[in-house]
């Protein structure tokens, strides 16, 4: 990125946006839609919702964690550090976090991971323990990567409108090429919940 800046080449970042403000960016409303996912899990009857955050340097992951906490607050639930695990955005780290959650006497009834890879890792750990998804545990992710639709059961997640984001980025690049002042634009496009097969009511509510 520094090399691109020195050469004067036009650049538009896709989510997460630039933190230095030097480039235009197209980002998803990570915080708001994460709060929405948390509220959705609450609406199913979950009151003990775990969260797996990713690498602390990842700007979007930090916003998703903030959204989770805001979602709890909006639903009248207290935030607890005991319900938070830290992964590194990989499937393997999600699996490890899942194992740690499930080893508890009273694990969460739903787990929201900051990306789909970690959510799939949680699914793996649940399957190894013979837990049924979503009967015994509800799992949700973020990003809607291809794997989210390929796993069984299909993963409930947050979809980022990548086609729209790419279209907007191309538009900004074309505008920048025509505009000598290179004004910086920060655009936010809404993500949406993709409700699939890994979320349901908690067992005690059945």
Whichever domain contains 60, its CATH number is 3.40.50.2300
The 10 Å Cβ neighbour count of residue 105 is 4
The confidence band for 157, taking pLDDT boundaries of 50, 70 and 90, is very high
- The answer to the question of residue 124 being in a domain is yes
Full domain range(s) for residue 116: 47-158+194-205
Nearest one of 41, 82, 83 to 198, comparing CA atoms: 41
What are the residue ranges of helices labelled H in the chain?
2-7, 30-43, 59-74, 91-102, 116-128, 146-150, 162-178
Task: Tally the residues of the chain.
Answer: 206
Q: Region 118-140: what's the mean pLDDT?
A: 98
- The answer to the question of residue 107 being in a domain is yes
- The answer to the question of residue 146 being in a domain is yes
Of the chain, the percentage scoring pLDDT greater than 90 comes to 67
Return the pLDDT at 192.
96
Higher pLDDT residue, 203 or 107? 107
Higher pLDDT residue, 77 or 185? 77
Q: 157 pairs with which residues across the strands?
A: 194
How far is the C-alpha of 119 from the C-alpha of 140, rounded, in Å? 6
Q: How many domains does the chain have?
A: 1
- The answer to the question of residue 121 being in a domain is yes
How far is the C-alpha of 4 from the C-alpha of 1, rounded, in Å? 5
Q: Region 37-58: what's the mean pLDDT?
A: 96
- The answer to the question of residue 170 being in a domain is no
- The answer to the question of residue 76 being in a domain is yes
Return the pLDDT at 1.
46
Establish whether the linkage from the previous residue to 154 is cis, with ω within 30° of 0: no
Q: Coil, strand, or helix at residue 1?
A: coil
């Amino acid at each position: 990125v520094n090399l691109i800046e020195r050469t004067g080449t036009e650049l538009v970042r896709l989510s997460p946006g630039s933190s230095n403000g030097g480039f235009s960016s197209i980002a998803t409303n990570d915080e708001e839609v994460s709060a929405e996912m948390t509220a959705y899990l609450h609406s199913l009857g979950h009151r003990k919702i775990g969260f797996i955050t990713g690498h602390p340097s990842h700007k979007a992951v930090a916003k998703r964690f903030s959204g989770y906490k805001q979602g709890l607050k909006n639903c009248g639930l207290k935030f607890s550090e005991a319900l938070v695990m830290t992964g590194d955005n990989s499937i393997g780290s999600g699996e490890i976090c899942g194992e740690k959650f499930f080893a508890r006497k009273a694990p969460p009834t739903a787990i929201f991971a900051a990306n789909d890879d970690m959510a799939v890792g949680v699914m793996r750990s649940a399957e190894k323990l013979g837990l049924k998804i979503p009967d015994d545990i509800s799992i949700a992710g973020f990003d809607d990567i291809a794997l989210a639709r390929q796993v069984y059961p299909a993963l409930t997640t947050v979809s980022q409108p990548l086609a729209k984001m790419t279209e907007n980025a191309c538009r900004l690049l074309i505008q920048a090429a025509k505009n000598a002042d290179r004004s910086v634009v920060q655009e936010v496009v809404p993500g949406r919940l993709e409700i699939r097969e890994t979320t349901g009511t908690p067992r005690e509510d059945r």
